[in-house]
Amino acid sequence: MVLVVDDDALVLESIDIHLSAVGGFRTILALGSASANATLDQSRIDVIIADVILTGSITGLDLCHKAITQYPGVAVVVITADTEVQCAEIPERGVFLRKPFGGEQLVEAIEAALRTVEK
């Protein structure tokens, strides 16, 4: 199960369509940090894709760290359009992907993140 977190509904929809249709992934969409936080408490996830900057007091990085704590085998993909965010800020096992990106790049990032967990 892939949890996708962003506060832009169009981004969520685009990622969902691609991952479901092309990648064969099952997704849970979370519009914003509050929804994602609740989902982490209620659903088992294998991959989290989170935008760094979210409305509210919880960032995408915070959510990624929470997911790792709750699900030690979770793969992490951090996405952002913010040019100030650097790769060094993401969790050690995380894969960094700068927006805009294509669907193929996203699938490759998920596969790379899954490989880091398998080690």
At residue 87, the pLDDT reads 59
Provide the residue range defining the domain that includes 36: 2-118
**In whole numbers, what is the pLDDT of the chain averaged over residues?**
89
At residue 27, the pLDDT reads 95
Q: Which has the closest alpha carbon to 30: 19, 42, 38? A: 38
Structure pTM? 0.92
At residue 119, the pLDDT reads 61
The parts of the chain modelled with pLDDT lower than 50 are: none
Q: Please state the domain count of the chain.
A: 1
At residue 88, the pLDDT reads 59
At residue 57, the pLDDT reads 85
Looking up residue 49, the CATH number of its domain turns out to be 3.40.50.2300
| Angstrom distance (rounded) from CA 81 to CA 60 | 13
| Angstrom distance (rounded) from CA 102 to CA 57 | 29
Single-letter amino acid, residue 17: I
